[in-house]
């Protein structure tokens, strides 16, 4: 083989290998970055903790069955407005006290000594009526190599609730289908890792306490979480990016994420006769659906509806939407099976639904809604493009003979 032949063979080999690199998948490194106080991604896992007044209670902990925890001594010099809290990070409880003086102070028994009198206060600052404290590292076990969960705490000026969110997240880039996407993992359940894959069980469709996976699907440099652009989901077994499915594996310490293309078993969801947009959650990830003929191919599995919008155009061509649902009806929970079509009737015809409730002595509250044929219940607040909303409807109350007993305007909210 001469030099010229070797060069040609090498060039051919390069041409063959280049597409495989271009359409990469596999394992990608992630790096922990601390987030700002207002970072919406870090706040995805925010949880609220109710406080208590008076002496700290005695509690048991799932992390140490049979162990009873309490506080033997409180910090000296507390103001009369100081309030105590029991903060659960992972399944470990920690006693905390917030004193809303100026500047606000946080006392935290992170070492589990049961003595807050020897704890140095963490000084915070007041922002927009909130007492905000620097990030705190909570130990998740004993010993030098134990994991820590870095969380951020804050209270409202009234101090009734303590809010906790992740202080940062693991981020990096992945290459899928020839495109590069920014990704991030959030330790939303505060157990010192961001690798907990959560499955749906029972009626559990809430995101609280579950780790998050974010993918910048539209590649605009932000992680957006709206019905129009769903880029944040709880960490599931698979994800869908540009209609391709990938299995998800995260290193225990969230230092890397592995994505491998897969082909799930597919069924069909059919919502006939309605112009709808919806976001579904399942063990196969999150699915934003809309447009088309109301039929969508979906992986086999159980689904919960996270958001739903019904649209209809009037005679002038203006599109109106209903999206504020208090009840999802048939959409709340359903199954998709391989090779089969699940048909759910939703939307028109709509019927006015009125529910009466006591509003206190001598008062009755009437709640108005629009019921769809699938049992879903919408607010009566129709909106059109630009967020223009119809005025709240007027109300008349008649007796059996048709006499007007009361009339007035209803209110949204």
Q: Which long-range contacts (CB under 8 A, 24 or more apart) does 122-126 make?
A: 124/154, 126/102, 126/157
Q: Tell me what pLDDT residue 410 has.
A: 64
Q: Between these two residues, 130 and 157, which has the higher pLDDT value?
A: 130
Residue 99 lies in a domain: yes
pLDDT tens, residue by residue, 312-348: 888 888 888 888 777 888 888 899 999 999 999 888 8
Task: Answer yes or no: is pLDDT of 256 > 90.
Answer: yes
Are 221 and 184 within one domain?
A: yes
Alpha-carbon separation of residue 390 from 8, 348, 379, 385 (angstroms): 70, 19, 11, 12
Q: Considering 199, 232, 262, which residue would you say is the last residue of a domain?
A: 262
Percent of the chain with pLDDT over 70: 83
Q: How many CA atoms lie less than 13 Å away from 260 in the CB half-sphere?
A: 6
Averaged pLDDT, 378-394: 71
- Taking the C-alpha atoms of residue 291 and residue 274, their distance in angstroms, rounded to an integer, is 10
Q: Considering 262, 280, 310, which residue would you say is the last residue of a domain?
A: 262
Q: Tell me what pLDDT residue 21 has.
A: 40
Q: Tell me what pLDDT residue 400 has.
A: 79
Residue 28 lies in a domain: no
Are 119 and 61 within one domain?
A: yes
Count CB-CB contacts under 10 A for residue 199: 12
Are 388 and 411 within one domain?
A: yes
Residue 231 lies in a domain: yes
Residue 6 lies in a domain: no
Are 329 and 412 within one domain?
A: yes
- Give the pLDDT band of residue 209 (cuts 50, 70, 90): low
Count CB-CB contacts under 10 A for residue 390: 12
Q: Phi, psi at residue 3, to the nearest 5°? A: -60, -40
- Give the pLDDT band of residue 120 (cuts 50, 70, 90): very high
Averaged pLDDT, 190-201: 71
Are 286 and 188 within one domain?
A: no
Does residue 103 have a cis peptide bond before it, meaning omega lies within 30 degrees of 0? yes
Could you tell me the residue range of the domain that residue 175 belongs to? Answer: 168-262
**Contact (CB, 8 A) for 383 and 323:** yes
Least confident of 153-162, 265-274, 384-393: 384-393
pLDDT tens, residue by residue, 46-79: 788 888 888 888 887 766 667 788 888 999 999 9
**Single pTM value for the model:** 0.75
pLDDT tens, residue by residue, 14-47: 444 444 444 456 889 999 998 887 788 888 777 8
Are 255 and 282 within one domain?
A: no
Least confident of 90-104, 129-143, 289-303: 129-143
- Give the pLDDT band of residue 13 (cuts 50, 70, 90): very low
Are 110 and 224 within one domain?
A: no
**Contact (CB, 8 A) for 279 and 305:** yes
Residue 27 lies in a domain: no
Task: Answer yes or no: is pLDDT of 183 > 60.
Answer: yes
Q: In the block, which residue shows the tokens 């028109």?
A: 348
Secondary structure string (H, E, C) spanning the chain: CCHHHHHHHHHHHHHHHHHHHHCCCEEEECEEEECCCCCCCHHHHCEEEEEECCCCCCEEECCEEEEEECCCECCCCCCCCCEEEEEEECCEEEEEEEECCCCCEEEECCCCCCEHHHCCCEECEEECCEEECCCEEEECCCCCCCCEEEEEEEEECCCCEEEEEECEEEEEEEEECCEEEEEEEECCCCCCCCCCCCCCCCCCCCCCCCCEEEECCCCCCCCCECCCCECEEECCCEEEECCEEEEEEECCCCCEEEEEEECCCEEEEECCCCEEEEEEEECCEEEEEECCCCEEEEECEEEEEEEEEEEEECCCCCEEEECCEEECHHHCEEEECCCCEEECCCCCCCEEEEEEEECCCCCEEEEEEEECCCCCEECCCCEECCCEECCCCEEEEECCCCCEEEEEECCCC
Are 238 and 338 within one domain?
A: no
Residue 317 lies in a domain: yes
- Taking the C-alpha atoms of residue 274 and residue 311, their distance in angstroms, rounded to an integer, is 8
Q: Tell me what pLDDT residue 145 has.
A: 60
Are 361 and 380 within one domain?
A: yes
Are 288 and 313 within one domain?
A: yes
Residue 21 lies in a domain: no
Count CB-CB contacts under 10 A for residue 411: 6
Averaged pLDDT, 168-179: 92
CB under 8 Å to 345, separation ≥6 — which residues? 271, 272, 273, 330, 373, 374
Q: How many domains does the chain have?
A: 3
Percent of the chain with pLDDT over 90: 24
- Give the pLDDT band of residue 381 (cuts 50, 70, 90): confident
- Give the pLDDT band of residue 207 (cuts 50, 70, 90): very low
CATH number for the domain spanning 339: value is 2.60.40
Q: Tell me what pLDDT residue 366 has.
A: 72
Residue 352 lies in a domain: yes
Are 218 and 83 within one domain?
A: no
Q: Considering 107, 133, 166, which residue would you say is the last residue of a domain?
A: 166
Are 198 and 303 within one domain?
A: no
Count CB-CB contacts under 10 A for residue 48: 10
Count CB-CB contacts under 10 A for residue 338: 11
- Taking the C-alpha atoms of residue 287 and residue 290, their distance in angstroms, rounded to an integer, is 10
CB under 8 Å to 191, separation ≥6 — which residues? 89, 90, 91, 140, 147, 149
């Amino acid at each position: 083989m001469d030099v010229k032949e070797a060069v040609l063979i090498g060039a051919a080999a390069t041409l063959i290998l280049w597409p495989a690199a271009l359409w990469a998948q596999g394992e990608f490194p992630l790096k922990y970055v601390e987030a700002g106080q207002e970072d919406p991604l870090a706040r995805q896992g925010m949880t609220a903790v109710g406080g208590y007044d008076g002496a700290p209670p005695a509690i048991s902990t799932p992390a140490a069955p049979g162990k009873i925890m309490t506080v033997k001594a409180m910090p000296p010099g507390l103001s009369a407005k100081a309030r105590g809290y029991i903060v659960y990070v992972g399944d470990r409880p920690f006693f905390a006290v917030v004193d809303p003086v100026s500047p606000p102070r946080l006392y935290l028994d992170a070492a589990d000594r049961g003595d807050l009198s020897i704890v140095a206060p963490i000084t915070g600052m007041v922002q927009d009526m909130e007492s905000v404290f620097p990030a705190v590292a909570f130990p998740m076990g004993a010993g030098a190599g134990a994991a820590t969960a870095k969380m951020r705490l804050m209270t409202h000026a009234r101090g009734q609730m303590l809010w906790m969110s992740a202080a940062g997240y693991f981020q990096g880039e992945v290459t899928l289908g020839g495109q590069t996407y920014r990704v991030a993992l959030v330790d939303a359940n505060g157990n010192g890792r961001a690798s907990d894959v959560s499955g749906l069980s029972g009626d559990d469709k809430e995101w609280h306490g579950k780790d998050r996976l974010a993918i910048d699907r539209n590649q605009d440099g932000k992680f957006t979480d709206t019905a129009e652009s769903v880029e944040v989901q709880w960490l599931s077994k698979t994800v869908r990016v540009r209609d391709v499915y990938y299995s998800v594996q995260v290193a225990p310490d969230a230092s890397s994420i592995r994505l491998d293309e897969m082909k799930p078993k597919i069924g069909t969801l059919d919502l006939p006769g309605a112009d709808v947009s919806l976001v579904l959650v399942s063990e196969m990830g999150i699915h934003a659906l809309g447009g088309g003929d109301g039929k969508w191919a979906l992986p086999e599995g159980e689904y919960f509806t996270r958001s739903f919008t019904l649209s209809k155009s009037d005679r002038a061509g203006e599109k109106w939407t209903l999206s504020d649902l208090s009840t999802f009806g048939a959409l709340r929970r359903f199954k998709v099976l391989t090779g089969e079509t699940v048909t759910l009737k939703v939307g028109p015809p709509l019927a006015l639904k009125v529910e009466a409730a006591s509003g206190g002595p001598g008062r009755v509250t009437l709640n108005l809604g629009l019921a769809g044929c699938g049992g879903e219940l919408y607010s009566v607040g129709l909106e059109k493009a630009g967020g223009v909303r119809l005025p709240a409807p007027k109300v008349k109350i008649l007796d059996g003979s048709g006499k007007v007993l009361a009339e007035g305007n209803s209110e949204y909210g």
